[in-house]
Amino acid sequence: MSKIIVTGGCGYIGSHTVIALIDQGYKVVVFDDFSNASEDTLDRIAKITGIRPLFTRVDLKEKIKVLEAFNEHKEAKAVIHFAAYKAVKESINNPLDYYENNLFSLINVLNAQQAVGINNFIFSSSATVYGMPESFPMTENSPVKRPFSPYGNTKKIAEEILEDYTNANTKLSFISLRYFNPIGAHDSGHIGELPSGIPNNLMPYITQTAAGLRDKLWVFGDDYPTKDGTAVRDYIHVVDLAEAHLAALQYLMKNQQKANYEIYNLGTGQGYSVLEVIKSFELANNLRLNYEITSRREGDVAVMYASTDLAKQVLGWSAKRDLKSMVASAWKWEQNFRK
Ligand code: UFG
Protein backbone atom coordinates (compact mmCIF):
# COMPACT_ATOMS: atom_id res chain seq x y z
CA MET A 1 0.00 0.00 0.00
CA SER A 2 1.15 3.56 -0.66
CA LYS A 3 3.37 5.37 1.76
CA ILE A 4 2.17 8.78 2.96
CA ILE A 5 4.24 11.36 4.83
CA VAL A 6 2.29 13.19 7.53
CA THR A 7 4.01 16.21 9.05
CA GLY A 8 2.69 17.10 12.49
CA GLY A 9 1.22 13.60 12.69
CA CYS A 10 1.33 13.62 16.49
CA GLY A 11 -0.81 16.75 16.75
CA TYR A 12 -4.55 16.91 17.25
CA ILE A 13 -5.85 16.70 13.67
CA GLY A 14 -2.70 14.96 12.41
CA SER A 15 -3.01 12.03 14.81
CA HIS A 16 -6.67 11.42 13.96
CA THR A 17 -5.76 11.50 10.27
CA VAL A 18 -2.89 9.06 10.81
CA ILE A 19 -5.38 6.64 12.36
CA ALA A 20 -7.78 7.03 9.42
CA LEU A 21 -4.90 6.41 6.98
CA ILE A 22 -3.66 3.32 8.81
CA ASP A 23 -7.22 1.98 9.03
CA GLN A 24 -7.42 2.25 5.23
CA GLY A 25 -4.16 0.33 4.84
CA TYR A 26 -1.79 3.20 4.06
CA LYS A 27 1.78 3.03 5.30
CA VAL A 28 2.26 6.19 7.31
CA VAL A 29 5.46 8.09 8.10
CA VAL A 30 5.12 10.78 10.74
CA PHE A 31 7.46 13.77 10.87
CA ASP A 32 7.11 15.66 14.13
CA ASP A 33 9.32 17.56 16.58
CA PHE A 34 6.90 17.35 19.54
CA SER A 35 6.96 21.14 19.86
CA ASN A 36 3.23 20.98 20.53
CA ALA A 37 2.52 17.28 20.79
CA SER A 38 3.32 14.42 23.06
CA GLU A 39 5.64 11.56 22.20
CA ASP A 40 3.22 8.98 23.55
CA THR A 41 0.75 9.84 20.78
CA LEU A 42 2.62 7.24 18.68
CA ASP A 43 1.89 4.60 21.34
CA ARG A 44 -1.72 5.68 21.47
CA ILE A 45 -2.03 5.38 17.69
CA ALA A 46 -0.48 1.90 17.90
CA LYS A 47 -2.94 0.95 20.64
CA ILE A 48 -5.90 2.00 18.52
CA THR A 49 -4.79 0.69 15.13
CA GLY A 50 -2.44 -2.15 16.08
CA ILE A 51 0.22 -0.50 13.90
CA ARG A 52 2.90 1.95 14.95
CA PRO A 53 3.54 4.50 12.22
CA LEU A 54 7.11 5.03 11.03
CA PHE A 55 8.52 8.10 12.69
CA THR A 56 11.25 10.69 12.15
CA ARG A 57 11.87 13.41 14.69
CA VAL A 58 12.65 16.49 12.66
CA ASP A 59 12.36 20.25 13.06
CA LEU A 60 10.92 21.29 9.71
CA LYS A 61 12.66 24.68 9.94
CA GLU A 62 15.97 22.88 9.33
CA LYS A 63 16.23 22.68 5.56
CA ILE A 64 18.97 20.05 5.34
CA LYS A 65 17.36 17.81 7.98
CA VAL A 66 14.05 17.98 6.13
CA LEU A 67 15.74 16.94 2.91
CA GLU A 68 17.42 14.02 4.71
CA ALA A 69 14.10 12.92 6.16
CA PHE A 70 12.42 13.02 2.74
CA ASN A 71 15.33 11.16 1.17
CA GLU A 72 14.64 8.25 3.49
CA HIS A 73 11.08 8.02 2.18
CA LYS A 74 11.45 8.90 -1.49
CA GLU A 75 8.86 6.35 -2.49
CA ALA A 76 6.07 8.17 -0.61
CA LYS A 77 3.13 9.06 -2.81
CA ALA A 78 1.87 12.13 -0.98
CA VAL A 79 2.49 14.58 1.84
CA ILE A 80 -0.15 15.79 4.26
CA HIS A 81 1.27 18.88 5.93
CA PHE A 82 -0.23 19.63 9.35
CA ALA A 83 2.87 20.79 11.20
CA ALA A 84 2.36 24.40 12.31
CA TYR A 85 1.94 26.59 15.35
CA LYS A 86 -1.74 27.37 15.87
CA ALA A 87 -2.40 29.46 18.97
CA VAL A 88 -4.05 32.73 17.95
CA LYS A 89 -3.12 34.71 21.07
CA GLU A 90 0.47 33.48 21.11
CA SER A 91 0.84 34.48 17.47
CA ILE A 92 -0.24 38.04 18.29
CA ASN A 93 2.47 38.22 20.97
CA ASN A 94 5.18 36.44 18.94
CA PRO A 95 4.41 37.07 15.27
CA LEU A 96 7.93 36.35 13.99
CA ASP A 97 7.93 32.90 15.63
CA TYR A 98 4.74 32.13 13.74
CA TYR A 99 5.89 33.44 10.38
CA GLU A 100 9.23 31.71 10.77
CA ASN A 101 7.87 28.37 11.91
CA ASN A 102 4.81 28.05 9.71
CA LEU A 103 6.27 29.46 6.52
CA PHE A 104 9.88 28.19 6.65
CA SER A 105 8.52 24.72 7.42
CA LEU A 106 6.16 24.85 4.48
CA ILE A 107 8.88 26.01 2.08
CA ASN A 108 11.34 23.38 3.32
CA VAL A 109 8.75 20.64 2.91
CA LEU A 110 7.87 21.81 -0.61
CA ASN A 111 11.53 21.97 -1.65
CA ALA A 112 12.26 18.54 -0.18
CA GLN A 113 9.28 16.86 -1.75
CA GLN A 114 10.16 18.36 -5.10
CA ALA A 115 13.74 17.12 -4.69
CA VAL A 116 12.55 13.54 -4.19
CA GLY A 117 9.76 13.78 -6.77
CA ILE A 118 6.57 13.64 -4.66
CA ASN A 119 3.82 15.57 -6.46
CA ASN A 120 0.76 15.13 -4.25
CA PHE A 121 0.28 17.51 -1.34
CA ILE A 122 -2.52 18.33 1.10
CA PHE A 123 -2.33 21.49 3.19
CA SER A 124 -3.96 22.17 6.51
CA SER A 125 -5.59 25.56 6.05
CA SER A 126 -8.25 27.36 8.02
CA ALA A 127 -11.50 29.26 7.66
CA THR A 128 -9.58 32.10 9.26
CA VAL A 129 -8.54 33.09 5.70
CA TYR A 130 -12.07 34.46 5.19
CA GLY A 131 -11.25 37.18 7.74
CA MET A 132 -14.29 39.20 8.78
CA PRO A 133 -16.99 37.68 6.55
CA GLU A 134 -19.82 39.68 4.98
CA SER A 135 -22.26 36.95 4.01
CA PHE A 136 -22.99 33.30 4.82
CA PRO A 137 -22.34 30.52 4.32
CA MET A 138 -18.70 30.83 3.29
CA THR A 139 -18.05 29.23 -0.06
CA GLU A 140 -14.60 28.57 -1.45
CA ASN A 141 -15.19 31.61 -3.67
CA SER A 142 -15.95 33.94 -0.76
CA PRO A 143 -13.33 36.67 -0.61
CA VAL A 144 -10.15 35.88 1.25
CA LYS A 145 -9.21 38.70 3.60
CA ARG A 146 -6.44 39.66 5.95
CA PRO A 147 -6.97 37.43 9.02
CA PHE A 148 -7.00 39.08 12.41
CA SER A 149 -4.02 37.16 13.79
CA PRO A 150 -0.49 36.45 12.55
CA TYR A 151 -1.39 32.75 12.91
CA GLY A 152 -4.29 33.24 10.51
CA ASN A 153 -2.10 35.27 8.20
CA THR A 154 0.42 32.42 7.98
CA LYS A 155 -2.43 30.30 6.57
CA LYS A 156 -3.37 32.98 4.05
CA ILE A 157 0.24 33.49 2.95
CA ALA A 158 0.77 29.74 2.78
CA GLU A 159 -2.20 29.40 0.42
CA GLU A 160 -0.71 32.14 -1.76
CA ILE A 161 2.62 30.33 -1.81
CA LEU A 162 0.87 27.12 -2.88
CA GLU A 163 -1.02 28.93 -5.60
CA ASP A 164 2.14 30.49 -7.05
CA TYR A 165 4.08 27.26 -6.72
CA THR A 166 1.46 25.11 -8.47
CA ASN A 167 1.13 27.75 -11.21
CA ALA A 168 4.83 27.36 -11.89
CA ASN A 169 4.80 23.53 -11.72
CA THR A 170 1.87 22.08 -13.58
CA LYS A 171 2.70 18.48 -12.74
CA LEU A 172 1.84 19.10 -9.08
CA SER A 173 -1.48 18.04 -7.54
CA PHE A 174 -2.17 20.15 -4.47
CA ILE A 175 -5.18 20.67 -2.21
CA SER A 176 -5.79 23.12 0.62
CA LEU A 177 -8.42 22.16 3.15
CA ARG A 178 -9.97 25.05 5.06
CA TYR A 179 -11.07 23.77 8.45
CA PHE A 180 -13.88 25.42 10.33
CA ASN A 181 -13.91 24.53 14.07
CA PRO A 182 -12.59 21.02 14.72
CA ILE A 183 -13.60 19.56 18.10
CA GLY A 184 -14.19 16.13 19.62
CA ALA A 185 -11.95 13.11 19.81
CA HIS A 186 -11.51 9.54 18.63
CA ASP A 187 -14.25 7.19 19.91
CA SER A 188 -11.69 5.10 21.78
CA GLY A 189 -10.95 8.01 24.11
CA HIS A 190 -7.22 7.32 23.61
CA ILE A 191 -6.40 10.40 21.58
CA GLY A 192 -7.80 13.90 21.49
CA GLU A 193 -6.95 17.56 21.76
CA LEU A 194 -4.15 18.38 24.18
CA PRO A 195 -3.54 22.12 24.33
CA SER A 196 -0.47 23.28 26.19
CA GLY A 197 -1.23 25.72 29.00
CA ILE A 198 -4.54 27.53 29.23
CA PRO A 199 -6.71 26.64 26.24
CA ASN A 200 -7.69 29.38 23.79
CA ASN A 201 -10.40 27.37 22.11
CA LEU A 202 -13.88 26.74 23.40
CA MET A 203 -14.05 22.94 23.56
CA PRO A 204 -10.86 22.25 25.54
CA TYR A 205 -11.79 25.12 27.86
CA ILE A 206 -15.17 23.48 28.43
CA THR A 207 -13.72 20.02 29.13
CA GLN A 208 -11.02 21.43 31.43
CA THR A 209 -13.65 23.40 33.34
CA ALA A 210 -15.80 20.28 33.70
CA ALA A 211 -12.71 18.38 34.89
CA GLY A 212 -12.08 21.03 37.55
CA LEU A 213 -8.85 22.36 36.06
CA ARG A 214 -10.47 25.76 35.43
CA ASP A 215 -12.87 27.52 37.79
CA LYS A 216 -15.25 28.66 35.15
CA LEU A 217 -15.75 29.11 31.45
CA TRP A 218 -16.01 32.69 30.25
CA VAL A 219 -18.44 33.13 27.39
CA PHE A 220 -17.06 35.91 25.22
CA GLY A 221 -19.98 38.19 24.39
CA ASP A 222 -23.75 37.76 24.38
CA ASP A 223 -24.54 40.83 22.29
CA TYR A 224 -23.82 39.43 18.83
CA PRO A 225 -26.59 39.58 16.24
CA THR A 226 -27.32 35.85 16.63
CA LYS A 227 -30.26 33.83 18.01
CA ASP A 228 -29.05 33.92 21.64
CA GLY A 229 -26.44 36.70 21.33
CA THR A 230 -23.42 34.39 21.51
CA ALA A 231 -21.14 33.80 18.54
CA VAL A 232 -21.90 31.06 16.04
CA ARG A 233 -19.36 28.61 14.61
CA ASP A 234 -19.36 25.54 12.40
CA TYR A 235 -18.03 22.83 14.73
CA ILE A 236 -16.83 19.70 12.99
CA HIS A 237 -15.94 16.34 14.54
CA VAL A 238 -12.20 15.74 14.22
CA VAL A 239 -12.85 12.19 12.98
CA ASP A 240 -15.01 13.58 10.16
CA LEU A 241 -12.16 15.96 9.40
CA ALA A 242 -9.68 13.06 9.32
CA GLU A 243 -11.95 11.20 6.89
CA ALA A 244 -12.03 14.29 4.67
CA HIS A 245 -8.24 14.08 4.36
CA LEU A 246 -8.61 10.49 3.28
CA ALA A 247 -11.17 11.49 0.65
CA ALA A 248 -8.89 14.28 -0.61
CA LEU A 249 -5.93 11.92 -0.73
CA GLN A 250 -7.83 9.27 -2.70
CA TYR A 251 -8.99 11.96 -5.10
CA LEU A 252 -5.39 13.10 -5.64
CA MET A 253 -4.07 9.57 -6.06
CA LYS A 254 -6.67 8.84 -8.74
CA ASN A 255 -5.58 11.96 -10.64
CA GLN A 256 -9.10 13.33 -10.61
CA GLN A 257 -8.14 16.97 -10.18
CA LYS A 258 -9.37 19.52 -12.67
CA ALA A 259 -6.90 22.17 -11.60
CA ASN A 260 -3.55 21.40 -10.07
CA TYR A 261 -4.40 23.46 -7.00
CA GLU A 262 -7.85 23.12 -5.45
CA ILE A 263 -9.39 24.38 -2.22
CA TYR A 264 -12.17 22.83 -0.13
CA ASN A 265 -14.04 23.96 2.97
CA LEU A 266 -14.36 21.38 5.70
CA GLY A 267 -17.29 22.02 7.98
CA THR A 268 -20.76 20.62 8.58
CA GLY A 269 -22.62 23.60 7.14
CA GLN A 270 -24.46 23.96 10.46
CA GLY A 271 -23.71 26.79 12.89
CA TYR A 272 -24.05 26.48 16.68
CA SER A 273 -23.80 29.26 19.24
CA VAL A 274 -21.48 29.10 22.25
CA LEU A 275 -24.51 28.62 24.52
CA GLU A 276 -25.80 25.79 22.33
CA VAL A 277 -22.45 24.03 22.61
CA ILE A 278 -22.49 24.45 26.39
CA LYS A 279 -26.07 23.10 26.64
CA SER A 280 -25.27 20.20 24.39
CA PHE A 281 -22.18 19.38 26.47
CA GLU A 282 -24.22 19.47 29.69
CA LEU A 283 -26.99 17.33 28.27
CA ALA A 284 -24.84 14.73 26.54
CA ASN A 285 -22.59 14.26 29.55
CA ASN A 286 -25.17 14.81 32.27
CA LEU A 287 -23.33 17.53 34.16
CA ARG A 288 -23.46 21.24 34.89
CA LEU A 289 -20.83 23.62 33.66
CA ASN A 290 -19.83 26.69 35.61
CA TYR A 291 -19.88 29.54 33.10
CA GLU A 292 -20.34 33.29 33.02
CA ILE A 293 -20.89 35.82 30.26
CA THR A 294 -18.16 38.40 29.78
CA SER A 295 -17.29 40.91 27.07
CA ARG A 296 -16.46 39.98 23.47
CA ARG A 297 -12.99 38.67 22.64
CA GLU A 298 -11.04 40.93 20.31
CA GLY A 299 -10.90 39.71 16.74
CA ASP A 300 -13.87 37.31 17.03
CA VAL A 301 -16.42 37.27 14.24
CA ALA A 302 -20.12 36.94 15.07
CA VAL A 303 -20.98 34.11 12.70
CA MET A 304 -18.94 31.67 10.64
CA TYR A 305 -20.17 28.55 8.90
CA ALA A 306 -19.29 26.70 5.75
CA SER A 307 -20.94 25.87 2.51
CA THR A 308 -19.98 22.22 2.21
CA ASP A 309 -21.31 21.58 -1.30
CA LEU A 310 -17.99 21.52 -3.10
CA ALA A 311 -16.37 18.88 -0.87
CA LYS A 312 -19.50 16.79 -1.21
CA GLN A 313 -19.76 17.08 -4.99
CA VAL A 314 -16.10 16.69 -5.83
CA LEU A 315 -14.53 14.69 -3.01
CA GLY A 316 -17.68 12.74 -2.18
CA TRP A 317 -17.18 13.62 1.46
CA SER A 318 -19.53 15.13 4.00
CA ALA A 319 -19.48 15.25 7.79
CA LYS A 320 -21.55 12.53 9.50
CA ARG A 321 -21.16 13.11 13.21
CA ASP A 322 -23.44 15.46 15.16
CA LEU A 323 -22.75 17.94 17.95
CA LYS A 324 -23.73 15.40 20.63
CA SER A 325 -21.09 12.99 19.37
CA MET A 326 -18.52 15.81 19.30
CA VAL A 327 -19.10 16.96 22.88
CA ALA A 328 -19.43 13.42 24.27
CA SER A 329 -16.17 12.26 22.68
CA ALA A 330 -14.34 15.39 23.83
CA TRP A 331 -15.41 14.70 27.42
CA LYS A 332 -14.54 11.00 27.21
CA TRP A 333 -11.04 11.93 26.07
CA GLU A 334 -10.55 14.55 28.79
CA GLN A 335 -11.64 12.08 31.48
CA ASN A 336 -9.47 9.26 30.13
CA PHE A 337 -6.49 11.56 29.85
CA ARG A 338 -6.85 12.88 33.41
CA LYS A 339 -6.93 9.31 34.70
N1 UFG B 1 -15.17 31.14 23.30
C2 UFG B 1 -15.67 31.49 24.54
N3 UFG B 1 -14.90 31.19 25.63
C4 UFG B 1 -13.70 30.58 25.54
C5 UFG B 1 -13.21 30.23 24.26
C6 UFG B 1 -13.97 30.53 23.16
O7 UFG B 1 -16.75 32.04 24.65
O8 UFG B 1 -13.05 30.35 26.57
C9 UFG B 1 -15.99 31.44 22.12
C10 UFG B 1 -15.29 32.35 21.14
O11 UFG B 1 -15.47 33.69 21.50
C12 UFG B 1 -15.93 31.95 19.83
C13 UFG B 1 -16.25 30.47 20.02
O14 UFG B 1 -16.22 30.25 21.42
O15 UFG B 1 -17.13 32.65 19.67
C16 UFG B 1 -15.25 29.57 19.36
O17 UFG B 1 -13.96 29.97 19.78
P18 UFG B 1 -12.66 29.13 19.47
O19 UFG B 1 -11.49 29.85 20.04
O20 UFG B 1 -12.86 27.71 19.87
O21 UFG B 1 -12.62 29.12 17.89
P22 UFG B 1 -12.45 30.35 16.89
O23 UFG B 1 -13.62 30.29 15.99
O24 UFG B 1 -12.16 31.62 17.54
O25 UFG B 1 -11.09 29.90 16.25
C26 UFG B 1 -11.09 29.09 15.16
C27 UFG B 1 -9.81 28.26 15.08
C28 UFG B 1 -8.62 29.13 14.82
C29 UFG B 1 -8.89 30.10 13.72
C30 UFG B 1 -10.12 30.89 14.03
C31 UFG B 1 -10.50 31.93 13.04
O32 UFG B 1 -9.61 27.53 16.26
O33 UFG B 1 -7.57 28.28 14.44
O34 UFG B 1 -11.20 29.96 14.11
O35 UFG B 1 -11.20 31.36 11.98
F36 UFG B 1 -7.86 30.97 13.56
120: domain CATH number? 3.40.50.720
Residue 72's nearest CA partner among 11, 107, 118, 120 is: 118
What is the DSSP code (8-state) at residue 123? E
In a domain, 120, yes or no: yes
What is the C-alpha to C-alpha distance for residues 238 and 326, in angstroms, rounded to an integer? 8
Residue 315 included in any domain = no
Give dist(CA 151, CA 88) in Å, integer: 6
Nearest to 122 by CA among 292, 276, 241: 241
Domain total in the chain: 1
Q: Which residues contact 251 (CB under 8 A, 6 or more apart)?
A: 175, 257, 314, 315
Pairing mode of beta strands 54-57, 27-32:
parallel
253 inside domain: yes
- Taking the CA of residue 297 as reference, the ligand 1 atom at the shortest distance is 11
DSSP at 144: P
294 lies in a domain? no
Angle at 175 between CA 106 and CA 7, to 5 degrees: 40
> How would DSSP label each residue in 46-67?
HHHHS-PPEEEE--TT-HHHHH
Q: How many CA atoms lie within 13 A of 221 on its CB side?
A: 18
**Residue 212 forms part of a structural domain:** no
Q: Which among 208, 274, 277, 281 is the best mutation to test ligand 1's pocket, defined by most ligand atoms within 8 Å of the CB?
A: 274
The count of residues in the chain is 339
Closest C-alpha to 151, from 183, 121, 175, 127: 127
Do the bridges between strand 120-126 and strand 291-294 make them parallel or antiparallel, or are there none, so unpaired? unpaired
Establish if 75 belongs to a structural domain. Answer: yes
- Atom of ligand 1 at shortest range from CA of 206: 8
Q: Is residue 60 part of a domain?
A: yes
Assess if residue 84 is contained within a domain: yes
Full residue range of the structural domain in which residue 96 is found: 3-185+234-267
Q: Catalytic site residue 151?
A: yes
| 202 contacts 230 by C-beta, under 8 angstroms | no
In 3-state terms, what secondary structure has residue 138?
Answer: strand
| Nearest CA owner, ligand 1 atom 26 | 181
**Ligand 1, pocket residues at CB < 6 Å:** 86, 88, 126-128, 151-152, 181, 200-202, 205, 217-220, 231, 233, 274, 297, 300
Cis ω on the peptide bond leading into residue 137 (within 30° of 0)? yes
pLDDT tens digits in sequence order for the chain, 339 residues long: 899 999 999 999 999 999 999 999 999 999 999 999 999 999 999 999 999 999 999 999 999 999 999 999 999 999 999 999 999 999 999 999 999 999 999 999 999 999 999 999 999 999 999 999 988 999 999 999 999 999 999 999 999 999 999 999 999 999 999 999 999 999 999 999 999 899 999 999 999 999 999 999 999 999 999 999 999 999 999 999 999 999 999 999 999 899 999 999 999 999 999 999 999 999 999 999 999 999 999 999 999 999 999 999 999 999 999 999 999 999 999 999 988
Q: Which of 26, 85, 151, 261 is catalytic?
A: 151
